[in-house]
Amino acid sequence: MTRKYILGLDIGIGSVGYGLIDFDTKGIIDAGVRLFPEANSDNNLGRRAKRGARRLKRRRIHRLDRVKSLLSEYKIISDRVPVNNQPYDIRVKGLTERLTKDELAVALLHIAKRRGIHNVDVVMDKDEGDKESLSTKDQINKNAKFLETRYVCELQKERLEKDGLVRGVENRFLTKDIVREAKKIIETQMQYYPEIDDTFKEKYIDLVETRRAYYEGPGQGSLYGWDADVKKWYQLMMGHCTYFPEEYRSVKYAYTADLYNALNDLNNLRISRDENDRLEYHEKYHIVENVFKQKRTPTLKQIAKEIGVEEVDISGYRITKSGKPQFTSFKLYHDLKMVISDQKILENIDLLDQIAEILTIYQDKDSIINELGQLEYLLSEHDKSVISDLTGYTGTHNLSLKCMQMIIEELWHSSMNHMEVFTALNIQPKKYELKGYKRIPTAMIEDAILSPVVKRSFKQAIGVVNAVIKKYGLPKDIIIELARKSNSAEQRRYLNEIQKKNEKMRKRIEEIIKEYGNENAKYLIQKIRLHDAQEGKCLYSLKDIPLNDLLRNPDHYEIDHIIPRSISFDNSMHNKVLVRSEQNAKKSNQTPYQYLTSSNSDIEYSVFKQHILNLGKNKDRMSKKKREYLLEERDITKYDIQKEFINRNLVDTRYATRELTSLLKAYFHINDLDVKVKTINGSFTDFLRKRWRFRKERDEGYKHHAQDALIIANADYLFKEHKLLKEIKDVSDINMHQNSSEIKNDKQYQEVFGNYFKMDDIKNYPITKFSHRVDKKPNRQLINDTIYSTRNIDDKIYVVETLKNIYDRQNDKVKKIFNKYPENILMYQNDLETFKKIHVIMEQYANEKNPLAKYYEETGEFVTKYAKDDNGPVVKKIKYYMKALGEHLDVTHNYSGAKNQVVQLSKKSFRFDIYKSEQGYKMVSLSYLSLNNDKDRYFVNRDEYAQLKKGKQIAETDQFIGSFYTNDIIQLNGEKYRVIGVNNDRRNRIELDRVDIRQTDYVKLHNLKKGDRIFMTIGRNTTDIEKIYTDILGNIYKSKRPKAPQLVFKKG
């Protein structure tokens, strides 16, 4: 008989912890961790960026060749293309004066080389998120004001003379501004050269303006094209409906999609009032007609006014990242309303949907007008023209129009949200045929609207589930906890915020101890935090809580759970307030509303409510969730309300989690397999860890992921063993069952969650199974992009490095290099006078972190190179040499006229191969540069590989041990390690890491002073090397050693 068990899954950004608990005995069966790199574009970014750069360069060269051909046709240039290093001066001169033909050629070629931005709406920049720098759109708008009285070249020349540079974030102009200058220059020169006519001007301007639109795709004959059919191109990307896979998804801004989203928003609202707490049909109708259709950006205040309630009476709405209420904006409706003459268009929903699709699919004015002309509804020429000018239409909805139209009527006339309607109408996702599959397929994950990070995590999780089922049979239950942060960057921001808050609190405690001389503050952190947030008042009486009294008599004040934990299952700061002890005793297990509307309270509820609303205006003092808890006016003893709290605080209802659970549930249901799939909120498992005194030690390695999974699996027993969680449908009858184990109050809550004997089992269980996802992908970035020049010093080649941001106050390298290694600075060798100028500044501001920054701060001027008239160019960077040239790729041949060797450093390691000879172990290293590719494969040239072996003195008779890729497990001299890659091929040195913990964490854990990285040399002292194979669960297994290394890899 198959053993019954519960499977817990802790799904993170780069890990899946799994834990199996025996269903009957609660004993631990197995646990381990699957680890994998976070899915992000960084691994492929360099390769894609280089490809994009090559494409831009190729098109620029082609454009300049056509300009040269035009100039040659009009006898402006001959075979020789003129060169001039003052193009901005020439362009400015050409606006009003005669240019020589050579100068005209220089000006027109320079303009054609960088022709500005033609579509601001689609430009994305790396610095867009930097609050200190302007976005592309803002910078263009700023430049537009300057260009009201001048041309682009005039503004560029001014900046060149003032700052010593032109190109950079400020050098952003629209193509039309560049074209305006070009027209002016050509028109001026037409006065002096009769051969330059209007035809020449039109041809040149066409060359500058014309672009291949991204939706046109590759040129004719390309394998990757779509035959110039734009709709076909868009449909390749838009995907299919979740519920009707034969239907394409709707475009994002279709009127039907907006109405569907708006009704779903409205049905999620809860109204605090005596009658129905949901919106009626007539209320939704009036909100849509009088708010959504009248206001481009609907607000909570407008909705509240329309239905005659206060803003605070409404909950359940979506919020923005800044915490503001968010509702659907009918973009298309409002855009059309502003420009069309035929207002009947706004009443035709099918027509609106068709217009939205045309605006989304087609991007140029002529195509849009043409497609609008094909519609059955006859639009006027004026309306077609103004509609074609509308912008900002991108993206798709998750559902098709057919699907949304099917349930919109139900959304109008019921209070159910869209998921509840699908359930009520028994409409099931039909993405993939799951019947008969022996393993849970992952293809469905690809179609979900999820980030690459989440998709990879889900695929790895499904792989773990499949492997567990294969080994142990079907589980009774699968319990899932999904990471609350969607990527490592978000996780870092979150941890930084926590660190900032903790640091702020630490300083606050120090201030209190210094001011009051009371060490109690160290032990009252949570009470002091609540005291400050509440402006020093007891919220249930609004009486002052003197800080000095809190420190001297902390027992006089208690932390109360706003909504009793026995109902809310929320132990976070959102559900805590600091109150006087007598107030807490009188409130007991009631809500603030229930207590303050009773005869026991000291203040009126209306006074309390106004105070909370005032506090809630500052989100740093009070979160939205806490405000809603404090103003909860419903009867929390009712079944529906308790169910809502459980769903909110115990069950993870996020979209991403629903996607995974929907797939698992559908698979088990369709195949008649009795497996229950549940989710648990991360905040609840965090609470369990704290209650069970189970510290989450991230620095102790990866094992905590498996321990978390075991806690998650154990948490399932809480659902099973306590009536409120097991059979919530019977909540209304709970008090009738005297012998049931329901949780009635906080005392019982403590008994249930306060101590759990299985924690010792989890703490003591040896976690030894770790599986790392091996990276064998052959088409990664070949080498680091940075280009370095070199210098030969005393017959030794050194790499020349560049120090940038030399006027940054935090840049301490400037001072360090000038003080310690002045002779290594190229300026010292080649421009001693300029070096002396900077040296004087270094001595003048010797006490500053960066003397150059202080010099700029005081003078407002940059340092300039030495010149007799003191008008030399600005010194923006400093070049110096420090380290000798090691492993590199010589790219000198790409730079004609280079006096010194030009190189790229850090060849990317693909793998290394180990051989055993009579003399010991030897290594062949393969970088990504070693790989070639053709139509359907990547390969290592056999002759080249043979030469690599020969260079390492590896004979044909030597035994091949194995190929080691990143994250492979290698057993070296009896110890297991995880492979990072080759550190130095010439010295046969590889970099490794520990299997169960990062070396950096290991060093920190054991208080070691050095050794953040592990380097091993394959050589005489190597006694044994073996490749260790693991499955996805971390089980070690034996595999037959290959006779020879793999040199051919299939694509795809």
Query: Tens digit of pLDDT for each residue in 214-230?
Result: 555 555 555 555 555 67
The first and second tokens of residue 1034, run together, are 């971390």
Separation of CA 517 from chain center: 46
User: DSSP alpha helices (H): ranges in 845-961?
Assistant: 851-859, 942-951
Greatest Cα pair distance in the chain: 106
Place of tokens 């309303």: 337
H or E stretch including 408? helix 401-413
Residues 801 and 882 sit within 8 Å (Cβ to Cβ): yes
| Whether 51 and 193 share a structural domain | yes
- The candidate with the shortest Cα–Cα distance to 241, out of 229, 227, 228, 256, is 256
Q: Which of 10, 258, 265, 477 is catalytic?
A: 10
Characterize the bridge pairing of strands 5-11 and 477-482.
parallel
pLDDT in tens, 384-402: 999 999 999 988 998 999 9
Please report, as a single letter, which amino acid is at residue 229. D
Which segment of 405-419, 651-665, 743-757, 944-958 scores lowest on mean pLDDT? 743-757
Note whether residue 534 is domain-resident: yes
DSSP result, 685-697: HHHHHHHTT----
Q: How confident is the model at residue 134 (pLDDT cuts 50, 70, 90)?
A: low
User: Which of 722, 749, 772 lies at the terminal end of a domain, its last residue?
Assistant: 772
Kindly tell me if the per-residue pLDDT of 738 is higher than 80. no
Is 272 found in the same domain as 377? yes
* Residue 929, pLDDT score: 85
pLDDT of residue 132: 42
The separation between CA 931 and the C-alpha centre of its own chain, rounded to angstroms, equals 31
CB of 584 within 8 A of CB of 558? yes
The length of the chain is 1052
pLDDT greater than 90 at residue 16: yes
Provide the 3-class DSSP secondary structure of residue 50: helix
Q: Is 426 left (phi over 0), alpha (psi -120 to 50) or beta?
A: left
Judge whether 33 and 771 are in contact, CB under 8 Å: yes
* Residue 587 within a domain: yes
Residues 48 and 36 in one domain: no
pLDDT reading at 208 higher than 50: yes
Q: Please say if the pLDDT value at position 869 is more than 50.
A: yes
Predicted confidence band of residue 642 (pLDDT cuts 50, 70, 90): confident
Domain boundary among 772, 800, 827: 772
Same domain, 137 and 51: yes
Catalytic residue among 397, 561, 722, 772: 561
Query: Which of these ranges, 372-386, 415-429, 969-983, has the smallest mean pLDDT?
Result: 415-429
pLDDT tens-digit series, residues 509-566: 888 888 888 888 888 889 999 999 999 999 999 999 999 999 999 999 999 999 988 7
- pLDDT value at residue 730: 31
What pLDDT digit, counting tens, does each position of 481-490 carry?
Answer: 987 655 556 6
150 domain residue, yes or no:
yes
Query: What confidence tier does 620 reach under pLDDT thresholds 50, 70, 90?
Result: confident
Q: Is the pLDDT of residue 96 over 80?
A: yes
Residue carrying the six token digits 């609907």: 298
Residue 488 · residue 690 · CB < 8 Å: no
Does residue 452 share a domain with residue 359?
Answer: no
Q: Is pLDDT of 43 > 80?
A: no
Lowest mean pLDDT among 47-51, 171-175, 722-726: 722-726
Q: Indicate whether 666 belongs to any domain.
A: yes
Q: How many domains does the chain have?
A: 6
Contact 1008, 1016 (CB under 8 A): no
- pLDDT the model gives residue 445: 77
Q: How far apart are the C-alpha atoms of 753 and 721, rounded to whole Å?
A: 12
Q: Which DSSP symbol is given to 289?
A: I
Domain assignment of residue 221, yes or no: no
Say whether pLDDT at 583 is over 60: yes
**Which of 268-272, 841-845, 1017-1021, 1025-1029 shows the lowest mean pLDDT across its residues?**
268-272
Same domain, 127 and 261: no
pLDDT classification of 374: cutoffs 50, 70, 90: very high
Nearest to 563 by CA among 641, 653, 629, 517: 629
- Residue spans of alpha helices (H) in 74-197: 87-96, 101-113, 136-146, 152-163, 175-190
Q: What is the CATH number of the domain that holds 688?
A: 3.30.420.40
For the chain, the first-to-last Cα distance in angstroms comes to 42
* Helix axes of 682-691 and 746-753: crossing angle, nearest 10 degrees: 80
Give CA–CA dist 408/622, Å, rounded.
37
Instruction: Look at the block and give the residue holding tokens 């909950």.
Output: 315
User: What is the distance between the alpha carbons of residues 403 and 414, in angstroms, rounded to a whole number?
Assistant: 17
Three-state DSSP state, 9: strand
SS3 helix, strand, coil % of the chain, rounded to 5? 45, 15, 40
Known catalytic residue at 561: yes
Are both 87 and 122 inside the same structural domain? yes
- How far apart CA 853 and CA 806 sit, in angstroms, is 7
Identify the bridge partners of residue 888 per DSSP, sorted by sequence position.
Answer: 905
Last residue of a domain, one of 772, 803, 831: 772
> Is residue 429 in a domain?
no
Residue 665 and residue 657: Cα distance in Å, rounded? Answer: 12
**pLDDT for 921:** 96
Helix (H/G/I), strand (E/B), else coil: 972: strand
- Per the CB < 8 A criterion, the answer to whether 236 and 226 are in contact is yes
Tokens at residue 309, please? 């309630």
Neighbours of 693 (CB within 10 A): 11
Q: Are residues 375 and 264 in the same domain?
A: yes
Q: Which among 134, 389, 158, 403 has a CA at the least distance from the CA of 264? A: 403
d(Cα 755, Cα 778) in Å, to the nearest integer? 51
Question: What are the φ and ψ backbone dihedral angles of 674, each rounded to 5 degrees?
Answer: -85, 80
CA distances from 547 to 342, 528, 534, 555 (A): 67, 8, 12, 13
What span, in angstroms and rounded, lies between the C-alpha atoms of 299 and 296? Answer: 10
pLDDT digits (tens, 9 = 90+) for 807-824: 988 888 989 999 898 999
Asked whether the predicted pLDDT for residue 237 surpasses 80, the reply is no
Q: Which long-range contacts (CB under 8 A, 24 or more apart) does 142-151 make?
A: 143/170, 143/172, 143/173, 143/177, 144/174, 144/177, 147/173, 147/177, 151/92, 151/95, 151/180, 151/181, 151/184
Q: Torsion angle, CA of 500/502/505/506, rounded to 10 degrees? A: -110
DSSP 291: I
| pTM for the model | 0.70
In sequence order, which residues have a C-beta less than 8 Å from that of residue 305 and are 6 or more positions away?
Answer: none
Q: Is the pLDDT of residue 1031 over 70?
A: yes
Supply the pLDDT for residue 522.
83
Amino acid at 17: G
| 5 three-class SS | strand
560 with 581, same domain?
Answer: yes
Give CA–CA dist 532/310, Å, rounded: 28
CA pair distance 1016, 920, nearest whole angstrom: 15
Q: How far is CA 535 from CA 507, 523, 579, 617, in A?
A: 18, 20, 12, 13
534 and 472 belong to one structural domain: no
Which secondary-structure segment (H or E) carries 311?
none
The pLDDT value recorded for residue 22 is: 94
d(CA 416, CA 290): 22
Q: What is the mean pLDDT of the chain?
A: 85
* Spacing of C-alpha 108 from chain mean position: 42
More confident residue, 619 or 284: 284
Residue 220, in any domain of the structure: no
Please tell me the least confidently modeled range out of 93-107, 123-137, 747-761. 123-137
Residue at 806 is within a domain:
yes
Q: How confident is the model at residue 697 (pLDDT cuts 50, 70, 90)?
A: low
* Residue 334 is a catalytic residue: no
Q: Are residues 458 and 374 in the same domain?
A: no
Task: Count Cβ neighbours within 10 Å for each residue of 70-101 and write b for 16 or more, e otherwise.
Answer: bbeebebbeeeebeeeebbbbbbbbbeeebeb
Residue 968: closest CA among 982, 957, 987, 956: 982
Give residue-wise pLDDT tens across range 742-765: 444 555 555 555 555 577 888 889
**Which pLDDT score is estimated for 57?**
82
Of 873, 879, 878, nearest in space to 166 by CA? 873
Which residue range forms the structural domain that includes residue 967? 907-1050
pLDDT band (50, 70, 90) for residue 733: very low
Considering the domain architecture, whether residues 279 and 372 belong to the same structural domain is answered as yes
Amino acid at 79: D
Average pLDDT over residues 235-249: 82
Number of neighbouring beta carbons within 10 Å of residue 890: 12
**Signed CA dihedral, 698, 699, 704, 705: sign only:** positive
Helix (H) or strand (E) holding 1003: helix 999-1005
| Residue indicated by tokens 């569907």 | 260
User: What is residue 867's predicted lDDT score, i.e. its pLDDT?
Assistant: 85
Q: Is the pLDDT of residue 203 over 90?
A: yes
